[in-house]
Amino acid sequence: MLLAIGPGTLGLLGENDGPSMLSYAATGASFGVGAFLPFIVVTFAAAIFAETVAIRVGKVTRRGFGMLVSERFGALWGWIAATDLALINVLTLITEVVAIRIGLTYFGVAPWVAAAAAVSLVAITSLTSSFTRWQRIALALGAFNLIFVPAALLSHPDGAAVARALALWRPFPGGSTGNLLLLLASDAGATLTPWVLFFEADAISDQARERSTTTTRPSRGLSVDALLGGCVAAVAACATVVAAAALHRHHVVVRAQGGAAYAQALAPVVGHLPAALFALGLIESGALAMLTISASTAYVVEGRIFGWGVGFSASAARSARFRLLMVVLALAAALVTLIPGAPLLSIVLNANVIAVVLIPPALVFLFMLSADREVMGDHASGWITTATGIVMTTIICGCVLADVVSAFVRSV
């Protein structure tokens, strides 16, 4: 199991980033456990499946996802895919700094110190000599994603209610329709995002180049790597909902746009220890995603603009641009969060919604590539994988429609 841990585990742990955990917290605080727990489990199952396909494509082709799109569907589509990903990744990086800032605010740390810490983390880890060492640092950080589990247990949840929610998929609760649809789309975007599909192929290619080995025969079943990461991430996500549901049980309304009120509001309800663990979890989720998303963006920009696709595995001189780009992206995101009066929580929730809007095209490219025999050869996906991909994409398009309806409802 330990030998199987790699980019797949890292990618799905990185999905539990700052905006994702804040979205889950907003879900629990607004609606309790209810119907959202099984919904989150299903979305993680879909993420595991999609990431398994991305891993297979990366192992067979040893090329970045953006480069494959450009080569197979034309330069225009390659540029569109790369530009969309770069924009959403920069926006998401901003929300990761927000999550770190929110978590550290609970402990009295100044916002500028939190922003500086986020940039320093990316800068220090980018100096690692290899992809393997960088991955080990990120995975060690990702293990602390489970800190939300003791936070949930210490919040004294109703175990029977949680079990019923997982076993019986109840109808979505009533109340504010606009808020419900926003959180539905946001939670879907929290689990499956475009950057992870690009990251998997690029990271696996980087790892293969570093080891100077040919790729092994990819399994046609679920990747153990992705399955492990998905299970851990799903447990942490559900624990976040359960922990924040304590606010719903005690009828505590969190209105602060900065988002720091989630941990602060939990303290008088469930005690300072679970609130502190919740804040630490936000710091961890933002920190891990700062590493993975900055690397994902650098991979795409480097491969699409410079055409190298070398990442960490090149010599120090050739990889300097890649490492510098990671730091510049993190610095730009940190500076945006320091703008006075910025609606940080709104930025966080809408970042996930934008991810939902952009994921269908990425999935279409992914499943078309995986079924293309000229690209995949004998490892091309069969009709079951393609049919499952069509169903997934259709459902996610429904979430996009839900977002449109949500925006309309909020505007009237």
The tokens 């959202």 sit on which residue?
A: 36
SS (H, E, C) 368-408: HHHCCHHHHHHHCCCHHHHHHHHHHHHHHHHHHHHHHHHHH
pLDDT, position 95: 85
Contacts of 300 (CB under 8 A, 6+ apart): 64, 66, 82, 85, 86, 89, 198, 202
* 183 φ/ψ sector (left φ>0, alpha ψ -120 to 50, else beta): alpha
Which residue from 355, 29, 31, 403 is spatially nearest to 190, judged by alpha carbons?
A: 355
pLDDT, position 149: 92
- CA–CA separation, 306 vs 283, rounded Å? 33
b/e string for 207-227 if b means 16 or more Cβ within 10 A? Answer: bbbbeeeebeebeeebbbbbb
Which residue from 409, 407, 367 is spatially nearest to 387, judged by alpha carbons?
A: 367
Tell me the angle at which helices 131-142 and 194-211 cross, rounded to the nearest 10 degrees.
Answer: 140
Domains belonging to the chain, first-starting first, are 7-411 (1.10.4160)
- Main-chain dihedrals φ then ψ at residue 238, nearest 5 degrees: -65, -35
- CA–CA separation, 237 vs 149, rounded Å? 9
pLDDT, position 220: 54
pLDDT, position 258: 44
pLDDT, position 267: 84
pLDDT, position 120: 92
**Terminal-to-terminal C-alpha distance of the chain:** 52
- Main-chain dihedrals φ then ψ at residue 314, nearest 5 degrees: -85, 180
The rounded average pLDDT for each run of 10 residues, N- to C-terminus, in the chain (412 residues) is 70 84 85 82 88 85 77 79 78 87 87 91 82 84 89 86 78 64 74 80 74 56 77 91 86 57 81 89 90 85 61 69 85 86 69 74 87 85 86 80 64 56
**What DSSP assignment string belongs to 147-175?**
GHHHHHHTT---HHHHHHHHHS-PPPP-S
Whether residue 269 contacts residue 171, with contact meaning beta carbons closer than 8 Å, is answered with no
pLDDT, position 237: 92
Whether residue 20 contacts residue 190, with contact meaning beta carbons closer than 8 Å, is answered with yes
* 215 φ/ψ sector (left φ>0, alpha ψ -120 to 50, else beta): beta
Whether residue 296 contacts residue 199, with contact meaning beta carbons closer than 8 Å, is answered with yes
pLDDT, position 257: 42
The tokens 């009066």 sit on which residue?
A: 341
pLDDT, position 236: 93
b/e string for 356-368 if b means 16 or more Cβ within 10 A? Answer: bbbbbbbbebbbb
